[in-house]
Amino acid sequence: MAGYITKRLVQGIMLVFVVSILVFAMMDMMPGDPIELLTDRKVTDEVKDRLRAQYGLDQPPVKRYFNWVNDVLHGDFGTSIRTKMKVNTMLAQRLPITIKLTGTALLIELLIAIPIGLLAAYKKDGFFDRLIMSTSVFFAALPSFWVAVMLILIFGVTLRVLPLSGFSGVKHYVLPITAMVLGGIATTIRMTKTEVLDVLREKYILTAYAKGLPKRKVLVRHVLRNALILVTIMVFLNIPWVISGAVIIERIFVIPGMGNMLTEAILNQDFTIVQACVLLISILTVVCNIVCDVITAILDPRIRISLGGEGR
Protein backbone atom coordinates (compact mmCIF):
# COMPACT_ATOMS: atom_id res chain seq x y z
CA MET A 1 0.00 0.00 0.00
CA ALA A 2 2.71 2.43 0.94
CA GLY A 3 4.53 1.34 -2.18
CA TYR A 4 1.52 2.16 -4.29
CA ILE A 5 1.17 5.60 -2.84
CA THR A 6 4.83 6.28 -3.41
CA LYS A 7 4.57 5.11 -6.98
CA ARG A 8 1.64 7.37 -7.68
CA LEU A 9 3.34 10.28 -6.01
CA VAL A 10 6.40 9.83 -8.16
CA GLN A 11 4.25 9.64 -11.27
CA GLY A 12 2.42 12.74 -10.15
CA ILE A 13 5.58 14.67 -9.55
CA MET A 14 6.86 13.71 -12.97
CA LEU A 15 3.63 14.91 -14.50
CA VAL A 16 3.73 18.21 -12.71
CA PHE A 17 7.36 18.56 -13.65
CA VAL A 18 6.64 18.06 -17.32
CA VAL A 19 3.69 20.43 -17.14
CA SER A 20 5.82 23.04 -15.47
CA ILE A 21 8.38 22.81 -18.22
CA LEU A 22 5.71 23.06 -20.85
CA VAL A 23 4.06 25.97 -19.15
CA PHE A 24 7.30 27.79 -18.69
CA ALA A 25 8.49 27.06 -22.19
CA MET A 26 5.25 28.21 -23.71
CA MET A 27 5.32 31.52 -21.96
CA ASP A 28 8.93 31.88 -22.78
CA MET A 29 8.28 31.29 -26.44
CA MET A 30 6.04 34.28 -26.54
CA PRO A 31 7.12 36.63 -29.24
CA GLY A 32 7.80 40.05 -28.00
CA ASP A 33 9.74 41.26 -25.08
CA PRO A 34 7.59 41.95 -22.06
CA ILE A 35 9.76 44.82 -21.12
CA GLU A 36 9.11 46.40 -24.49
CA LEU A 37 5.44 45.98 -23.85
CA LEU A 38 5.61 47.69 -20.51
CA THR A 39 7.75 50.62 -21.38
CA ASP A 40 7.19 53.16 -24.05
CA ARG A 41 9.68 54.44 -26.56
CA LYS A 42 10.91 57.24 -24.45
CA VAL A 43 12.53 54.92 -21.93
CA THR A 44 16.25 54.51 -22.49
CA ASP A 45 17.88 51.19 -23.18
CA GLU A 46 19.78 51.38 -19.92
CA VAL A 47 16.57 51.53 -17.95
CA LYS A 48 15.18 48.68 -19.99
CA ASP A 49 18.27 46.58 -19.33
CA ARG A 50 18.03 47.30 -15.67
CA LEU A 51 14.40 46.22 -15.71
CA ARG A 52 15.34 43.09 -17.53
CA ALA A 53 17.97 42.25 -14.96
CA GLN A 54 15.45 42.99 -12.24
CA TYR A 55 13.02 40.51 -13.67
CA GLY A 56 15.83 38.10 -14.36
CA LEU A 57 15.03 38.20 -18.03
CA ASP A 58 18.63 38.53 -19.15
CA GLN A 59 19.62 35.00 -18.25
CA PRO A 60 19.54 31.89 -20.45
CA PRO A 61 16.19 30.04 -20.53
CA VAL A 62 17.25 26.97 -18.58
CA LYS A 63 18.61 29.06 -15.78
CA ARG A 64 15.45 31.13 -15.79
CA TYR A 65 13.43 27.96 -15.52
CA PHE A 66 15.32 26.79 -12.51
CA ASN A 67 15.06 30.21 -10.96
CA TRP A 68 11.37 30.04 -11.43
CA VAL A 69 11.07 26.53 -9.99
CA ASN A 70 13.20 27.55 -7.09
CA ASP A 71 10.97 30.50 -6.44
CA VAL A 72 7.85 28.43 -6.69
CA LEU A 73 9.15 25.87 -4.27
CA HIS A 74 9.70 28.68 -1.86
CA GLY A 75 6.18 29.82 -2.41
CA ASP A 76 6.98 32.73 -4.63
CA PHE A 77 5.09 32.81 -7.87
CA GLY A 78 6.66 35.93 -9.18
CA THR A 79 5.33 39.32 -9.89
CA SER A 80 2.50 40.29 -12.14
CA ILE A 81 3.76 42.18 -15.12
CA ARG A 82 0.71 44.31 -15.34
CA THR A 83 -0.17 45.16 -11.79
CA LYS A 84 3.28 44.80 -10.36
CA MET A 85 1.84 43.09 -7.34
CA LYS A 86 3.24 39.85 -6.09
CA VAL A 87 1.30 36.99 -7.56
CA ASN A 88 1.19 35.40 -4.15
CA THR A 89 -0.71 38.31 -2.75
CA MET A 90 -3.19 38.17 -5.55
CA LEU A 91 -3.60 34.44 -5.13
CA ALA A 92 -4.11 34.80 -1.42
CA GLN A 93 -6.96 37.17 -2.08
CA ARG A 94 -8.57 35.27 -4.87
CA LEU A 95 -8.06 31.62 -4.17
CA PRO A 96 -10.35 31.44 -1.11
CA ILE A 97 -13.18 32.93 -3.12
CA THR A 98 -12.86 30.38 -5.86
CA ILE A 99 -12.64 27.61 -3.31
CA LYS A 100 -15.77 28.80 -1.59
CA LEU A 101 -17.61 28.99 -4.87
CA THR A 102 -16.54 25.64 -6.27
CA GLY A 103 -16.71 23.81 -2.97
CA THR A 104 -20.27 24.86 -2.31
CA ALA A 105 -21.31 24.14 -5.85
CA LEU A 106 -19.80 20.67 -5.80
CA LEU A 107 -21.33 19.85 -2.46
CA ILE A 108 -24.80 20.94 -3.50
CA GLU A 109 -24.51 19.13 -6.79
CA LEU A 110 -23.59 15.89 -5.08
CA LEU A 111 -26.25 16.24 -2.42
CA ILE A 112 -28.88 16.57 -5.11
CA ALA A 113 -27.53 14.30 -7.81
CA ILE A 114 -26.62 11.21 -5.81
CA PRO A 115 -30.00 10.59 -4.19
CA ILE A 116 -31.73 11.23 -7.49
CA GLY A 117 -29.42 8.82 -9.28
CA LEU A 118 -29.99 6.23 -6.57
CA LEU A 119 -33.72 6.53 -6.81
CA ALA A 120 -33.68 6.38 -10.58
CA ALA A 121 -31.59 3.22 -10.48
CA TYR A 122 -33.72 1.55 -7.86
CA LYS A 123 -36.99 2.33 -9.56
CA LYS A 124 -35.62 1.63 -12.97
CA ASP A 125 -37.96 2.15 -15.90
CA GLY A 126 -40.50 3.68 -13.62
CA PHE A 127 -42.00 7.08 -14.21
CA PHE A 128 -39.37 8.82 -12.13
CA ASP A 129 -36.54 7.12 -13.94
CA ARG A 130 -37.78 7.98 -17.39
CA LEU A 131 -38.48 11.55 -16.38
CA ILE A 132 -34.98 11.99 -15.01
CA MET A 133 -33.34 10.37 -17.98
CA SER A 134 -35.07 12.47 -20.57
CA THR A 135 -34.56 15.73 -18.74
CA SER A 136 -30.94 14.93 -18.05
CA VAL A 137 -30.19 14.53 -21.73
CA PHE A 138 -31.62 17.96 -22.19
CA PHE A 139 -29.79 19.46 -19.23
CA ALA A 140 -26.50 18.00 -20.34
CA ALA A 141 -26.70 20.13 -23.46
CA LEU A 142 -26.94 23.36 -21.55
CA PRO A 143 -23.63 25.15 -21.45
CA SER A 144 -23.08 26.64 -18.04
CA PHE A 145 -22.47 30.11 -19.39
CA TRP A 146 -25.78 30.13 -21.19
CA VAL A 147 -27.55 28.94 -18.08
CA ALA A 148 -25.85 31.73 -16.20
CA VAL A 149 -26.94 34.33 -18.70
CA MET A 150 -30.48 33.02 -18.65
CA LEU A 151 -30.55 33.03 -14.89
CA ILE A 152 -29.36 36.60 -14.90
CA LEU A 153 -32.05 37.43 -17.36
CA ILE A 154 -34.81 35.83 -15.40
CA PHE A 155 -33.86 36.51 -11.85
CA GLY A 156 -31.63 39.50 -12.15
CA VAL A 157 -33.26 41.58 -14.78
CA THR A 158 -36.85 40.61 -15.08
CA LEU A 159 -37.64 39.69 -11.56
CA ARG A 160 -35.00 41.84 -9.97
CA VAL A 161 -34.61 39.35 -7.21
CA LEU A 162 -30.91 38.69 -7.03
CA PRO A 163 -27.79 40.76 -7.61
CA LEU A 164 -25.85 40.31 -10.76
CA SER A 165 -22.29 40.69 -9.72
CA GLY A 166 -19.94 40.94 -6.86
CA PHE A 167 -19.49 38.41 -4.17
CA SER A 168 -20.00 39.87 -0.76
CA GLY A 169 -23.14 38.33 0.57
CA VAL A 170 -25.18 35.16 0.47
CA LYS A 171 -27.45 36.64 -2.17
CA HIS A 172 -24.46 36.87 -4.44
CA TYR A 173 -23.86 33.15 -4.17
CA VAL A 174 -27.22 32.01 -5.40
CA LEU A 175 -27.06 32.59 -9.12
CA PRO A 176 -23.46 31.59 -9.76
CA ILE A 177 -23.80 28.39 -7.77
CA THR A 178 -27.10 27.53 -9.42
CA ALA A 179 -25.49 27.97 -12.82
CA MET A 180 -22.59 25.74 -11.89
CA VAL A 181 -24.78 23.07 -10.38
CA LEU A 182 -27.17 22.94 -13.30
CA GLY A 183 -24.27 22.55 -15.65
CA GLY A 184 -22.89 19.41 -14.13
CA ILE A 185 -25.81 17.78 -12.42
CA ALA A 186 -27.11 15.85 -15.38
CA THR A 187 -23.92 13.91 -15.89
CA THR A 188 -23.53 13.18 -12.22
CA ILE A 189 -27.04 11.79 -11.97
CA ARG A 190 -26.50 9.52 -14.92
CA MET A 191 -23.18 8.26 -13.65
CA THR A 192 -24.64 7.51 -10.25
CA LYS A 193 -27.53 5.68 -11.79
CA THR A 194 -25.29 3.59 -14.02
CA GLU A 195 -23.02 2.64 -11.19
CA VAL A 196 -25.83 1.74 -8.83
CA LEU A 197 -27.48 -0.30 -11.56
CA ASP A 198 -24.25 -2.16 -12.11
CA VAL A 199 -24.09 -3.03 -8.46
CA LEU A 200 -27.75 -4.02 -8.31
CA ARG A 201 -27.13 -6.51 -11.06
CA GLU A 202 -24.36 -8.22 -9.22
CA LYS A 203 -24.97 -11.73 -8.03
CA TYR A 204 -23.94 -10.98 -4.49
CA ILE A 205 -26.99 -8.83 -4.12
CA LEU A 206 -29.11 -11.91 -4.77
CA THR A 207 -27.09 -13.73 -2.17
CA ALA A 208 -27.76 -11.00 0.31
CA TYR A 209 -31.48 -11.33 -0.25
CA ALA A 210 -31.24 -15.11 -0.15
CA LYS A 211 -29.70 -14.91 3.27
CA GLY A 212 -32.85 -13.25 4.44
CA LEU A 213 -31.62 -9.69 4.71
CA PRO A 214 -34.44 -7.19 4.54
CA LYS A 215 -34.44 -4.83 1.58
CA ARG A 216 -33.23 -1.85 3.50
CA LYS A 217 -30.21 -3.63 4.86
CA VAL A 218 -29.33 -4.99 1.45
CA LEU A 219 -29.47 -1.53 0.00
CA VAL A 220 -27.35 0.11 2.59
CA ARG A 221 -24.83 -2.56 3.44
CA HIS A 222 -24.30 -4.03 0.04
CA VAL A 223 -25.47 -1.77 -2.73
CA LEU A 224 -24.40 1.53 -1.28
CA ARG A 225 -21.11 0.29 0.03
CA ASN A 226 -20.05 -0.92 -3.39
CA ALA A 227 -21.44 2.01 -5.31
CA LEU A 228 -19.55 4.26 -2.97
CA ILE A 229 -16.36 3.38 -4.76
CA LEU A 230 -17.32 4.88 -8.06
CA VAL A 231 -18.99 7.78 -6.34
CA THR A 232 -15.68 8.64 -4.72
CA ILE A 233 -14.01 8.59 -8.09
CA MET A 234 -16.72 10.86 -9.35
CA VAL A 235 -16.24 13.39 -6.62
CA PHE A 236 -12.51 13.72 -6.90
CA LEU A 237 -12.29 13.62 -10.64
CA ASN A 238 -15.00 16.22 -10.83
CA ILE A 239 -12.96 18.78 -8.96
CA PRO A 240 -10.72 19.91 -11.85
CA TRP A 241 -13.77 20.19 -14.08
CA VAL A 242 -15.63 22.26 -11.56
CA ILE A 243 -12.68 24.61 -11.36
CA SER A 244 -12.79 25.00 -15.14
CA GLY A 245 -16.44 25.80 -14.94
CA ALA A 246 -15.71 28.35 -12.26
CA VAL A 247 -13.49 30.26 -14.67
CA ILE A 248 -16.45 31.06 -16.85
CA ILE A 249 -18.90 31.70 -14.07
CA GLU A 250 -16.53 34.06 -12.32
CA ARG A 251 -16.22 36.03 -15.51
CA ILE A 252 -19.95 36.35 -15.97
CA PHE A 253 -20.74 37.31 -12.43
CA VAL A 254 -17.65 39.44 -12.02
CA ILE A 255 -16.48 37.43 -9.05
CA PRO A 256 -12.93 38.25 -7.98
CA GLY A 257 -11.71 34.69 -7.91
CA MET A 258 -8.73 32.88 -9.34
CA GLY A 259 -10.54 31.93 -12.54
CA ASN A 260 -11.29 35.53 -13.37
CA MET A 261 -7.72 36.43 -12.60
CA LEU A 262 -6.52 33.84 -15.06
CA THR A 263 -8.80 35.03 -17.83
CA GLU A 264 -7.79 38.64 -17.30
CA ALA A 265 -4.15 37.66 -17.30
CA ILE A 266 -4.49 35.92 -20.63
CA LEU A 267 -6.30 38.85 -22.16
CA ASN A 268 -3.63 41.17 -20.84
CA GLN A 269 -0.75 38.91 -21.63
CA ASP A 270 0.33 38.81 -18.01
CA PHE A 271 2.34 35.64 -18.27
CA THR A 272 3.52 35.32 -14.74
CA ILE A 273 -0.01 34.97 -13.52
CA VAL A 274 -0.90 32.51 -16.27
CA GLN A 275 2.10 30.39 -15.41
CA ALA A 276 1.21 30.38 -11.76
CA CYS A 277 -2.45 29.54 -12.25
CA VAL A 278 -1.90 26.79 -14.79
CA LEU A 279 0.76 25.25 -12.62
CA LEU A 280 -1.46 25.37 -9.56
CA ILE A 281 -4.37 23.81 -11.37
CA SER A 282 -2.16 21.05 -12.74
CA ILE A 283 -0.89 20.28 -9.29
CA LEU A 284 -4.46 20.22 -8.02
CA THR A 285 -5.52 17.84 -10.80
CA VAL A 286 -2.65 15.50 -10.10
CA VAL A 287 -3.38 15.53 -6.39
CA CYS A 288 -7.05 14.79 -7.00
CA ASN A 289 -6.17 11.85 -9.22
CA ILE A 290 -3.81 10.42 -6.66
CA VAL A 291 -6.20 10.89 -3.76
CA CYS A 292 -8.93 9.28 -5.80
CA ASP A 293 -6.80 6.25 -6.59
CA VAL A 294 -5.69 5.87 -3.03
CA ILE A 295 -9.18 6.10 -1.59
CA THR A 296 -10.44 3.60 -4.14
CA ALA A 297 -7.68 1.26 -3.12
CA ILE A 298 -8.68 1.62 0.49
CA LEU A 299 -12.34 1.02 -0.19
CA ASP A 300 -11.94 -1.94 -2.48
CA PRO A 301 -10.05 -4.83 -0.98
CA ARG A 302 -9.54 -6.41 -4.35
CA ILE A 303 -7.37 -3.53 -5.47
CA ARG A 304 -5.64 -3.31 -2.14
CA ILE A 305 -4.56 -6.89 -2.27
CA SER A 306 -3.50 -6.87 -5.88
CA LEU A 307 -1.18 -4.05 -4.91
CA GLY A 308 0.61 -6.41 -2.59
CA GLY A 309 -0.50 -4.84 0.61
CA GLU A 310 -1.96 -6.86 3.45
CA GLY A 311 -5.67 -7.18 3.13
CA ARG A 312 -6.26 -7.01 6.83
Partner 1 sequence: MSKKEKRKLFLYSYLKNRNLMLGTVIVLAVVLIALFSDWIAPYNFDDANLAPKFTRPCAEFPFGTDEFGRDMFSRVIYGSRIALRVAVLAMLIEIVLGVSIGLLSGYYGGNLDRVLSFLSDLTWSMPPIIMSMAVITVLGKSIDNVIIAIAVVSWAQYARVVRAKTQSLKNMAFVETGIAFNEKDISIMSFYILPNIIPPIIVLASLSIPSTIMSTTALSFLGLGAQPPSPDWGLALSSSMSHIATAPWLAIFPGIALVLTVFGFNLFGEGLRDLLDPRLKSR
Partner 2 sequence: METVDIGKALLQLENLSIDYRINTGMLSAVHNVNLTLRHGEIYALVGESGCGKSTIAHNVMRLSIDHNEVINGRIIFEGQDITSIPEPEMEKIRGKKIGMIFQNPLDSLNPVYRSGTQVTEALMLDGMSKKEAVLRTIELFRDVQIPNPEQRIAAFPHELSGGMRQRVMIAMMLARNPSLLIADEPTTALDVTVEAQILRIMKRLQQKFRTGILLITHNFGIVAEIADRIGIMYAGEIVEEGTVFDIFKNPVHPYSRALLSTLPRYHKSLRRIAAIDGNVPRITEKRAECRFRNRCPYSSEDERCATQSPNAVSFGSGHIVRCHRAEEDRV
Task: Report the interface residues with partner 2, using CB under 8 A.
Answer: 200-215, 221-222, 225-226, 299-302, 305, 311-312
Give the residue ranges of DSSP H helices in the chain: 2-28, 34-38, 45-55, 61-73, 87-122, 127-140, 144-151, 170-200, 203-211, 215-217, 225-252, 258-267, 271-299, 301-306
Q: Does 10 bind partner 1 (CB under 8 A)?
A: no
Those residues whose C-beta lies under 8 Å from the C-beta of residue 281, and which sit 6 or more positions away, are 240, 243
Which string of x and - marks every residue 88-127 that binds partner 1 (by CB under 8 A)? ------------------------------------x---
CB 271 within 8 A of CB 30: yes
Q: Among residues 140 and 213, whose Cβ is nearest to partner 1?
A: 140
Q: Residue 190 binds what, of partner 2, partner 1, none (CB under 5 to 8 Å, by partner type)?
A: partner 1
DSSP letter (8 states) at residue 154: I
> Could you tell me the CA-to-CA distances from 303 to 182, 203, 296 in Å, in that order?
34, 20, 8
Q: Residue 300 binds what, of partner 2, partner 1, none (CB under 5 to 8 Å, by partner type)?
A: partner 2
Those residues whose C-beta lies under 8 Å from the C-beta of residue 62, and which sit 6 or more positions away, are none
CB of 204 to partner 2, least distance (A): 4
Q: Residues interacting with partner 1, by CB under 8 A?
A: 14-15, 18-19, 23, 26-27, 29-30, 124, 137-138, 140-143, 145-146, 149-150, 152-153, 156-157, 190, 193-194, 197, 240-241, 243-244, 247-248, 251-252, 262-263, 266-267, 269, 271, 274, 277-278, 281-282, 285-286, 289
